Structure 1
Amino acid sequence: MWPVFYAALRSYAPYITLPFAGIVGLIGYSIENALSDKYTPYNKSIEEQRRDRLSSDDKLQSAGQVEKLQYSANVLGTNLSPSLS
């Protein structure tokens, strides 16, 4: 009797477990909706933030006043091994 019962249970396992999984998922979803805060504050899009930042940047107003790029330290010497220094 038990082997027949186990064989039937094994072949019909998806049909038995799916409703239980659905019920557990529905309960969890309902609890999460009741407990969580769904308020998301409005933020400007990245494109709008970039546009505002570039339009308010004083350095970009005059194309003739460009600062020269200078390195403050030797780039190759930053990760120099102690035995080589």
Structure 2
Amino acid sequence: MWPVFWTMVHTYAPYVTFPVAFVVGAVGYHLEWFIRGKSPQRVEEEKLILQRQEDCKLDELLGKDHTQVVSLKDKL
């Protein structure tokens, strides 16, 4: 009886495994989406953060006098 059972399990494993994996993946995807919230807002927030960082870097560059640099002799 056991050899017949293991033969059936071995033969039909892909047909059983795929639907189970699909259901587990779908549940995990929706659970993650539910916990995180709406993802399009996150992308917009990331764009705004990157834009703020670039603006801060530009303001920093505009505030500096680039003609005043340390000589290479002083760096050693």
**Normalised-by-shorter TM-score class:** 0.5 to 0.7
Task: Give, in angstroms, the shift of residue 55 of structure 1.
Answer: 5.1
| 1:12 paired residue number | 12
Taking structure 1 as the reference length, the TM-score comes to: 0.56
In 2, Cα distance between the equivalents of 1:15 and 1:33?
28
Q: Structure 2 counterpart of 1:13, which letter?
A: A
* Cα distance change of structure 1 residues 23 and 11 upon mapping to structure 2, 3 Å threshold: same
- RMSD between aligned residues: 2.8
Q: 1:66 aligns with which of 65, 68, 71?
A: 68
Aligned to 2:62: 56
CA distance in 1, matches of 2:52, 2:30: 31
Gaps of 5+ in 2: none
4+ long deviations beyond 6 Å: none
- Match runs of 1:22-61 below 5 Å: 22-37=22-37, 38=39, 39-40=41-42, 41=45, 42-43=48-49, 44=51, 49=54, 52-53=58-59, 56-60=62-66
Secondary structure in structure 2 of the residue aligned to 1:59? coil
Shift of residue 54, structure 1, vs aligned partner: 6.7
- Which secondary structure state, in structure 1, belongs to the residue aligned with residue 69 of structure 2? coil
- Higher Rg of the two aligned structures: 1
How many residues are matched? 66
Q: CA deviation at 1:26?
A: 0.8
SS of the equivalent of 1:18 reads helix
- Give distance in 1, aligned partners of 2:62 and 2:27: 50
